[in-house]
């Protein structure tokens, strides 16, 4: 299947490691030009060196998603170059806490970085996509928006708001050839998942390996997903071939979400 990604330009946020890195590498493998954004841009090199010679160019760019000035600086640069065709909205995950422990300031600061700043950045990059009558906006959330995850109160709550934003936007720009979708990772094996398992291990006085094994057993697929498996779904959604998928939430969770 020709995904039609050669000559397309993508901005992938949170691309220094984990899911963002897997998506950025997947897009580059399909020939897209990829702006790979994160705070520690030097880490982009850790996965860029493994790309085949015929991959599209990967251009690391520094951004701090908690800082509006930094975001606007990146967007100004990209708009000067003509904007992007594909936007992968991916942020760092919020700290683990219960609803009872989360303070008003936790909600506000995490909402600003994970939601309000992403809405702002998307709003600035959208008009160029609308003018070209082609665009893809893909936002990563979590399985927690369909089945809230205990002790991830900030993630469950803020990401549910992001789903509402994405669905509303999908309706507003569908006729302009811009698709807007949400991806729901279940348990995909990245450093963040290892860090969350380590926290759970300390809390329960079990080993991290035992926590990970129990977590994997609870998933119908009986294993964590691989970042490339997640990246491949994002690459398809970003492609020419996915032109009639919009306003959707797509699960990549090995069957972990129990509801239909």
Ligand X SMILES: NC(=O)c1ccc[n+]([C@@H]2O[C@H](COP(=O)([O-])OP(=O)(O)OC[C@H]3O[C@@H](n4cnc5c(N)ncnc54)[C@H](OP(=O)(O)O)[C@@H]3O)[C@@H](O)[C@H]2O)c1
Among 10, 58, 65, 180, binds ligand X (CB under 6 A): 65
Neighbours of 108 (CB within 10 A): 10
Q: Which is nearer to ligand X, 64 or 106 (CB)?
A: 64
Q: Where are the beta strands (DSSP E) in the chain?
A: 9-12, 33-38, 58-62, 86-89, 135-140, 178-185, 249-252
Task: Tell me which stretch binds ligand X (CB under 6 A): 62-70, 173-181, 204-212, 234-242.
Answer: 62-70
Task: Give the C-alpha separation, 134 to 63, whole Å.
Answer: 25
Nearest distance, CB of residue 236 and ligand X, angstroms = 18
192 binds ligand X (CB under 6 A): yes
What are the φ/ψ torsions at residue 236 (nearest 5 degrees)?
A: -60, -45
91 binds ligand X (CB under 6 A): yes
19 binds ligand X (CB under 6 A): yes
5 binds ligand X (CB under 6 A): no
The DSSP 8-state label assigned to residue 140 in this structure reads: E
40 binds ligand X (CB under 6 A): yes
| DSSP 3-state of 188 | strand
75 binds ligand X (CB under 6 A): no
Three-class SS string for 216-255? HHCCCCCCCECHHHHHHHHHHHHCHHHCCCCCCEEEECCC
46 binds ligand X (CB under 6 A): no
Q: Which is nearer to ligand X, 130 or 215 (CB)?
A: 215
Q: Applying CB under 6 A, which residues contact ligand X?
A: 14-20, 38-40, 43, 63-66, 90-93, 113, 140, 142, 155, 185, 187-188, 190-193
């Amino acid at each position: 299947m020709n995904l039609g990604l050669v000559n397309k330009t993508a901005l992938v946020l949170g691309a220094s490691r984990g899911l963002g890195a897997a998506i950025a590498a997947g897009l580059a493998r399909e020939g897209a030009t990829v702006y790979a954004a994160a705070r520690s841009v030097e880490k982009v090199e850790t996965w860029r060196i493994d790309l085949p010679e015929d991959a599209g160019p990967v251009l690391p760019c520094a951004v701090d998603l908690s800082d509006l000035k930094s975001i606007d600086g990146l967007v100004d640069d990209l708009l000067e170059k003509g904007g992007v065709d594909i936007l992968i909205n991916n942020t760092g995950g919020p700290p683990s806490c219960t609803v009872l422990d989360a303070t008003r300031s936790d909600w506000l600061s995490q909402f600003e970085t994970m939601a309000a700043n992403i809405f702002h950045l998307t709003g600035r990059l959208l008009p160029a996509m609308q003018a070209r009558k082609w665009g893809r906006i893909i936002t990563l959330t979590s399985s927690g928006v369909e089945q809230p995850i205990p002790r991830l109160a900030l993630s469950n709550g803020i990401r549910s708001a992001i789903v509402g934003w994405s669905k509303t936007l999908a309706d507003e720009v569908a006729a302009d050839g811009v698709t807007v979708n949400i991806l729901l990772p279940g348990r995909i094996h990245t450093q963040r998942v290892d860090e969350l398992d380590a926290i759970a291990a300390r809390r329960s006085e079990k080993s991290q390996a035992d926590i990970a094994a129990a977590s994997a057993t609870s998933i119908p697929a009986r294993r964590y997903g691989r970042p490339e498996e997640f990246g491949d779904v994002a690459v398809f959604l970003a492609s020419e071939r996915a032109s009639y998928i919009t306003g959707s939430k797509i699960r990549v969770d090995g069957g972990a979400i129990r509801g239909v």
